[in-house]
């Protein structure tokens, strides 16, 4: 199993809680042996195994991106990949945007995530709408799946075939709804008509 855990008073307030940095750990359920994947020098969170179990994707807050004088959960996390075989960490998506909820595609070649990332813009932060993006692990090319222009999205779940995602989104005149988006195809005319009728 893989999990994040608070182990030390990293902010020096005398209490170990969610305000401290969390590390990422694996535990072999047969032997009970725990292994540190990413220590708590930074705030590491939302770990997820690749389908073949050879790597872990996670978020890590490492800089004061909102320039408030402290590094905390209001700062942008970067999206990292830890190769368990090579024991090496790679940055996939920078902390210039606020990233969340990484999930691997079934083939393990890409990661879907929520982000305030916008091509050509310097920074997106915690309070902006989040779109849904996909990053190719090898090329690190990022493509947008669901726009963040008019609403925010979260909690993507990839279908077993890897052709679409289900996700939550706040839309006009709704509290929250469940939506579906395809990863490798554009919506057809009927999809667009239904979307326009439901949202305009």
Predicted local confidence at residue 45, as pLDDT: 93
Rg of the Cα trace of the chain? 18
pLDDT < 50 positions in the chain: none
Range of the domain at 98: 2-199
Predicted local confidence at residue 128, as pLDDT: 65
Predicted local confidence at residue 195, as pLDDT: 66
CATH number at residue 164: 2.120.10.30
DSSP states of 118-184: -TT-S---TTS--EEEEEETTT--EEEEE--SS--EEEEEE-TTSSEEEEEE--TT-S-EEEEEESS
Predicted local confidence at residue 199, as pLDDT: 62
> pLDDT tens across 173-197, in order?
667 778 888 887 666 677 777 767 7
Predicted local confidence at residue 141, as pLDDT: 93
Residue 51 to residue 193: CA distance in whole angstroms: 36
Q: Which residues pair with 43 in a beta bridge?
A: 61
Count up the domains in the chain and report the number: 1
């Amino acid at each position: 199993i893989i999990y994040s855990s608070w182990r030390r008073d990293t902010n020096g307030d005398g209490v170990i809680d969610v305000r401290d940095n969390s590390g990422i750990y694996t535990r072999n359920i047969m032997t009970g042996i725990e292994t540190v994947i990413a220590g708590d020098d930074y705030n590491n969170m939302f770990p997820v195994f690749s389908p073949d179990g050879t790597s872990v994707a996670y978020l890590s807050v490492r800089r004061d991106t909102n320039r408030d004088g402290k590094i905390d959960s209001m700062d942008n996390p970067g999206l990292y990949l830890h190769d368990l075989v090579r024991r090496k960490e790679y940055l996939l998506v920078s902390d210039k945007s606020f990233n969340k909820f990484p999930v691997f595609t079934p083939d393990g070649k890409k990661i879907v995530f929520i982000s305030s990332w916008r091509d050509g813009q310097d920074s997106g932060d915690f309070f902006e709408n989040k779109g849904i993006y996909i990053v190719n692990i090898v090329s690190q090319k990022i493509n947008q799946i669901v726009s963040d222009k008019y609403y925010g999205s979260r909690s993507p779940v990839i279908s077993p075939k890897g052709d679409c995602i289900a996700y939550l989104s706040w839309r006009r005149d709704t509290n929250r709804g469940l939506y579906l988006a395809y990863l490798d195809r554009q919506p057809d005319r009927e999809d667009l008509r239904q979307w326009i009728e439901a949202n305009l």
